[in-house]
A = this chain, B = another copy of it.
Amino acid sequence: MSRNVAIVGVGHSKFGVRNDVSLPELAWESIKMALNDAGIEQKDIGYVVVSNVGGWSSEPLPAVVINEYAGICPTGTVRVEAACASGSAAVKLAYDMVASGHVDIAMAVGVEKMNESPTPTVVEFIGRAGNYFWEFQNFGLTFPGYYALYMTAYMNKYNAKEEDFCKVAVKNHYYGARNPKAQFQKEITVEKCMASRYIAWPIKLYDSSPITDGSAAVILASEEVAKQLTDSPVWIRAIGYASDTSNLSKRENFTSLKAGYLAGERAYKMAGIDKENVLKVFDVAEVHDCFTIAEVMAYEDLGFAKRGEGIEMIRNEETYIGGKIPVNLSGGLKAKGHPIAATGEGMIAELTNQLLSRVEKDRQAPIKNGYALAHNIGGTGHYAYVTILSLSKS
């Protein structure tokens, strides 16, 4: 019943501290790139979904400010927020819109300028990204603190060590060093990670993604229009999604993000993929490594590894190129950076480029089956979106 939907253009700004540009200028970097990639103009777009959290921005209507600057008016628009999964939510809504037949071309653009605010303000704002009323205000939980609960539970249950988690950071910095768009372009060692200061034990500075400015854009089109625009469409085969309680105290366990698990199940079902076979299906994946523990849980929630064996995958370097499934070849949130509402479009832009074999050679995954997966978490698993892309339509 649904129409097939393809990605026909992507754009991705340099991530990092971007005091050189304003919010709309930063968004335009990606929009311009995506328009050029698709070979279309602004007027060809039927609807624009802007993802931006932006509590640190002085502009409370970021979508209209961005759309005026980008020459998109009078096209219809909206801003969406699903915490750190806002970008994937924007792609999902643009996807529905094209699939429904209401428009033929839609764009999702994510942008965030987190460095506009003083760091303590950003940290407080992100700390509220759970249940402010109970857990932040009453118990003083910060965002690294939330994930520290998961990391300690995982370490305890599966006998994992801090050094093991540092290997996630080492891998992602290794690939970030090869990505000119990444915020951090240098390799690190387990020793350097272990020597970094604690943010919320056992999470250290090098277990954590940075505060980032950046943007990314994805243009979607119906099958008919996609065929006119490009010989190399990348098809959206499924988007799964789920939510979880705002209060962490109501969660069932602390070694898995249930919403991430459920979003994966839904996506696999929609795409007709047997979860037992995922390692045989996907050529490459981007997963949400806001902290190193999150990447390990993602391996297990998505079925890349059995419960408790995610940590083995990273110990054995099975998520590097040449391993069972290469993960976060962009550098991930850890090294590429995490401009929160642009992260989802950033993952999908990266995977589109991976599937089309057009990223830097030393971080290009070998493309065999032509399948890729983006796993994007909002908050501490409050939101989750899993997007499956493919070079084949069905």
Q: How many copies does the complex hold?
A: 2
| Contact present for A68 and B2 (CB under 8 Å) | no
| Complex CA distance for A132 and B62, rounded to whole angstroms | 10
| Contact present for B2 and A101 (CB under 8 Å) | yes
| Contact present for B125 and A77 (CB under 8 Å) | no
- Given known A58-B132, A64-B383, contact A243–B73 (CB-CB < 8 A): yes
| Contact present for B74 and A258 (CB under 8 Å) | yes
Closest-CB distance, A168 to chain B (whole angstroms): 26
Which B residues touch A243, using CB under 8 A?
A: 63-64, 67, 72-77
- Given known A61-B379, A128-B59, contact A79–B76 (CB-CB < 8 A): no
Scan residues 50-71 of chain A and give those whose CB is less than 8 A from a CB of chain B.
Answer: 53, 55, 58-61, 63-65, 67-68
Closest-CB distance, A392 to chain B (whole angstroms): 20
| Complex CA distance for A125 and B243, rounded to whole angstroms | 29
Which B residues touch A115, using CB under 8 A?
A: none
Mask for A85-97, Cβ within 8 A of B = 1, else 0?
0100100110111
Instruction: Please give me the residue from chain B that is nearest to A98 by CB atom.
Output: B100
Among listed A211-219, A245-253, A307-315, A366-374, interface-contacting one: A245-253
| Complex CA distance for A63 and B130, rounded to whole angstroms | 10
| Contact present for B63 and A245 (CB under 8 Å) | no
Contact of A79 among B60, B63, B82, B245 (CB under 8 A): B82
| Complex CA distance for A128 and B74, rounded to whole angstroms | 20
| Complex CA distance for A245 and B71, rounded to whole angstroms | 9
**Does A166 touch B at the CB level, under 8 Å?**
no
**Does A99 touch B at the CB level, under 8 Å?**
yes
A76, A130, A263 — which one has the most chain B CB atoms within 10 A of its CB?
A76
| Complex CA distance for A82 and B81, rounded to whole angstroms | 11
Closest-CB distance, A84 to chain B (whole angstroms): 10
Closest-CB distance, A40 to chain B (whole angstroms): 18
Closest-CB distance, A87 to chain B (whole angstroms): 11
| Contact present for B96 and A65 (CB under 8 Å) | no
Mask for A323-336, Cβ within 8 A of B = 1, else 0?
00000000000000
Instruction: Please give me the residue from chain B that is nearest to A379 by CB atom.
Output: B61
The count of chain A contact residues (Cβ–Cβ below 8 Å) is 64
**Dominant SS among interface residues on chain A:** mixed
**Does A3 touch B at the CB level, under 8 Å?**
yes
Which B residues touch A385, using CB under 8 A?
A: 76
Instruction: Please give me the residue from chain B that is nearest to A57 by CB atom.
Output: B132
| Contact present for B2 and A73 (CB under 8 Å) | no
| Contact present for B73 and A78 (CB under 8 Å) | no
| Contact present for A382 and B96 (CB under 8 Å) | no
| Complex CA distance for A3 and B99, rounded to whole angstroms | 11
- Given known A60-B128, A125-B60, A130-B61, contact A242–B75 (CB-CB < 8 A): yes
Closest-CB distance, A298 to chain B (whole angstroms): 17
| Complex CA distance for A182 and B80, rounded to whole angstroms | 29
Which B residues touch A89, using CB under 8 A?
A: 78
A-B contact pairs, 27 of them (CB 8 A): A3-B100, A22-B133, A55-B60, A59-B132, A60-B128, A60-B129, A61-B83, A61-B246, A61-B379, A61-B382, A63-B82, A64-B243, A67-B243, A67-B246, A68-B131, A72-B243, A73-B245, A76-B241, A76-B242, A76-B383, A77-B82, A78-B92, A78-B93, A93-B96, A97-B100, A99-B100, A100-B101
Return the 10 tightest CB-CB contacts between A and B, nearest first: A76-B241, A1-B101, A100-B100, A99-B100, A64-B246, A64-B382, A78-B89, A96-B96, A2-B101, A79-B81
